[in-house]
């Protein structure tokens, strides 16, 4: 491969915030404006290195879902118009800028823009900053992507915060289980993670899972560059000299794509197999710049790993038609969060056409089971505030004839196989040998 090949990053998403001309109330509190509409604040990266691979698909998914819901086009059980009969109005916010800026934007969404719920956040740092503010304000908040295992503490039961996606522990337990199936002979393992909570937690969960499932495999190198560093020549060189069989990375967004491009160009991925827990997000962007056989995940049953069902069929068709590409896992996860919110709001027993309060929605959301583009979702962890689902991994395969990427040799693991039970941390469960895990 030629090092002069162009970067795989797209230009940041150009966007317009909807609901122009709406009056902004200056009063505090979370009671929504009485305009007969259900207002959702949607927060995702609209600029910066995470926009192209993550924020843009997520924003597009929100637009497709909300338009379809407002027209009553979705299959059952989501064929009723809007949310509880009320038209949905979206206020979209850029997640770029860091945690302090996001807290300020969140307060603005709740206290001034009077949204009825907030759906969003990719960055684990942003989620950790937003969660206590959501509880303070009594604002119904659905985290659709961030994966930090630190979100829900055993000693603090949330009321208004929910996560309809999975955490990093599931990603990395699943990755280790997949390797034990397809590469049981691997002897040397290296890792490269972004040096903050997400990367650190991911590496800990993965390496300890490997100790349990593949004890003969040994860690020979670990690199922790700063997030959004972009250039990884020194780290690639350090890993190369150790000649690992497996290279694990929880990189996401532009960092992940840059790593693949640079490592493949320097021959690192010719002998070593990359395991990318977030790899599916670039499945149509790698092209021939990634090796066939690279192991990728979609952080659950999302994107290329989503099942064949009526909801996903509708979603894939509408998304493909609108954007001329298939929805990747960030898009699936945004769709799932909005569907979960709709399910909860419509199970509050509030009169159709009326807007349920955050308290009413939170009560219905807690412990709920709902259908999604990914199959059945159970809010079965963190006292009913954290989703439990299975996860799948597969091998990347590029078809030069169609110029499309796909996955083969897919293996799925149930939620009961890869999810720590309530009352124990992920690391405690892993180190104990996954007691109670139900695996096929």
Domain range for 130? 37-165+307-388
Model confidence pTM above 0.85:
yes
Mean pLDDT of 203-212: 97
Instruction: Tell me the C-alpha to C-alpha distance, in Å, between residue 153 and each of 132, 157, 158, 381, 424.
Output: 12, 7, 9, 11, 10
Could you give the number of structural domains in the chain? 2
Mapping DSSP to helix (H, G, I), strand (E, B) and coil, where does residue 309 land? coil
More confidently predicted of 12 and 44: 44
For tokens 């990266």, the residue is: 45
Higher pLDDT, 328 or 10: 328
pLDDT tens digits for range 228-242: 899 999 999 999 999
- Considering the domain boundaries, does residue 11 fall inside one? no
Statement to judge: residues 340 and 368 lie in one domain: yes
Instruction: Give the C-alpha distances (Å, rounded to integers) separating 355 from 73, 118, 344, 393.
Output: 21, 14, 12, 40
For residue 245, the domain's CATH number is 3.40.50.2300
Q: Which two tokens stand for residue 201?
A: 């937690």
What is the mean predicted confidence (pLDDT) over 57-71?
98
Give the DSSP letter string of 364-416: HHTT-EEEETTEEEEEEETTTTEEE--EEEEEEEEETTTTEEEEEEEEEE-HH
Asked if 88 and 206 sit in the same domain, the reply is no
Peptide bond into 77 cis (omega under 30): yes
Q: Please, are residues 171 and 299 in contact by the beta-carbon 8 Å criterion?
A: yes
Q: Could you tell me if 352 and 300 lie in one domain?
A: no
Q: What is the mean pLDDT of residues 17-45?
A: 57
In a domain, 320, yes or no: yes
- Tell me how far apart the alpha carbons of residues 278 and 295 are, in angstroms, rounded to a whole number: 10
Do 264 and 350 lie in one domain? The reply is: no
Tell me, what's the pLDDT at 253?
Answer: 85
Residue 6, token pair as written in the block: 């162009």
Structure tokens at 242: 């150790």
Pairing of strands 246-249, 188-192: parallel
Regarding whether 151 and 50 lie in a shared domain, the answer is: yes
Question: 311 - beta bridge partners?
Answer: none
Indicate if 59 and 130 belong to the same structural domain: yes
Greatest Cα pair distance in the chain:
66
Kindly state whether residues 53 and 80 are assigned to the same domain: yes
Query: Distance (Å, rounded) from C-alpha 5 to C-alpha 25?
Result: 50
């Amino acid at each position: 491969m030629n090092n002069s090949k162009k970067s795989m990053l797209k230009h940041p998403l150009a966007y317009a915030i909807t609901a122009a001309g709406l009056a902004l109330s200056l009063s505090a509190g979370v009671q929504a404006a009485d305009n007969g509409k259900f207002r959702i604040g949607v927060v995702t990266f609209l600029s910066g290195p995470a926009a192209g691979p993550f924020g843009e698909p997520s924003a597009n998914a929100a637009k497709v879902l909300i338009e379809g819901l407002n027209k009553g086009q979705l299959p059952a059980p989501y064929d009723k118009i809007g949310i509880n009969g009320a038209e949905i109005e979206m206020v979209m916010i850029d997640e770029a800028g860091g945690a302090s800026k996001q807290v300020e934007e969140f307060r603005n969404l709740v206290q001034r823009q009077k949204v009825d719920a907030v759906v969003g956040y990719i960055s684990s740092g942003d989620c950790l900053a937003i969660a206590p503010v959501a509880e303070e304000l009594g604002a119904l908040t659905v985290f659709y992507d961030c994966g930090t295992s630190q979100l829900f503490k055993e000693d603090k039961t949330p009321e208004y915060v929910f996560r309809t996606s999975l955490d990093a522990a599931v990603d990395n337990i699943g990755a280790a289980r997949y390797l034990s199936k397809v590469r049981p002979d691997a002897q040397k393992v290296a890792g490269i993670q972004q040096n903050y909570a997400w990367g650190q937690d991911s590496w800990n969960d993965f390496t300890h899972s490997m100790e349990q499932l593949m004890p003969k495999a040994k860690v020979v190198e670990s690199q922790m560059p700063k997030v959004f560093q972009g250039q990884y020549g020194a780290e690639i060189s350090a890993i190369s000299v150790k000649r690992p069989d497996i290279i694990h990375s929880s990189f996401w967004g532009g960092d992940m794509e840059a790593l693949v491009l640079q490592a493949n160009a320097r021959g690192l991925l010719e002998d070593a197999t990359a395991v990318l827990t977030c790899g599916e997000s670039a499945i149509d962007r790698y092209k021939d710049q990634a090796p066939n056989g690279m192991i990728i995940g979609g952080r659950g049953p999302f994107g290329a790993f989503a099942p064949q069902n009526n909801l996903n069929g509708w979603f894939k068709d509408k998304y493909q038609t609108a954007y001329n590409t298939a929805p990747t896992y960030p898009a699936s996860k945004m769709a799932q969060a909005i569907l979960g919110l709709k399910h909860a709001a419509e199970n509050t027993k509030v009169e159709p056409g009326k807007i349920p309060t955050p308290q009413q929605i939170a009560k219905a959301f807690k412990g709920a089971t709902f259908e999604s583009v990914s199959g059945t979702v159970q809010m079965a962890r963190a006292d009913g505030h954290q989703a439990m689902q299975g996860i799948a991994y597969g091998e990347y395969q590029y078809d030069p004839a169609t110029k499309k990427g796909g996955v083969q040799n897919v293996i799925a693991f149930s939620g009961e196989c890869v999810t720590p039970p309530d009352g124990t941390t992920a690391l405690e469960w892993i180190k104990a040998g996954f007691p109670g895990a139900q695996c096929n």
